[in-house]
């Protein structure tokens, strides 16, 4: 069974590509099994949240980090969860 790891992805996304195109930097922490899944998660999150197409996202670096180093509180809590409570 594969272990889920925490990755920090840094890159740029093109905002308002039709009027005044600007490249906006981003840093996002995600949990994934491998780097390929982390990239797919970034494409999915940025596309749904900011309506950015995949070809308007440029990823510069993907690094595996310790879950305690995460800047995203939800990712940190999911990584350190010891049990899941069902309602």
Which residue stretches of 20-72 are H helix? 35-50
CA–CA distance, 67 with 72 (Å, rounded to integer): 10
Report pLDDT for 1: 58
Instruction: Provide the whole-model pTM.
Output: 0.86
Which CATH number is 65's domain given? 3.10.20.10
Work out the number of other CB atoms within 10 angstroms of the CB of residue 40. 13
In a domain, 87, yes or no: no
CA–CA distance, 55 with 60 (Å, rounded to integer): 14
Number of domains in the chain: 1
DSSP symbol at 32? E
Per-residue model confidence as pLDDT tens digits over 4-59: 999 999 999 999 878 899 999 999 999 999 999 999 999 999 999 999 999 999 99
In a domain, 86, yes or no: no
CA–CA distance, 61 with 23 (Å, rounded to integer): 16
Per-residue model confidence as pLDDT tens digits over 48-87: 999 999 999 999 999 999 999 999 999 988 888 888 788 7
Report pLDDT for 44: 97
Report pLDDT for 82: 81
Report pLDDT for 22: 94
């Amino acid at each position: 069974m594969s272990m889920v790891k925490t990755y920090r992805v840094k890159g740029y996304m093109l905002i308002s590509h039709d009027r005044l195109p600007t490249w906006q930097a981003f840093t996002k922490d995600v949990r994934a099994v491998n780097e390929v899944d982390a990239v797919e998660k970034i494409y999915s999150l940025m596309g749904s949240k900011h309506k950015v197409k995949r070809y308007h996202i440029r990823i510069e670096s993907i690094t595996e980090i310790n879950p305690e180093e995460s800047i995203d509180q939800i990712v940190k809590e999911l990584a350190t969860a010891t049990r899941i409570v069902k309602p």
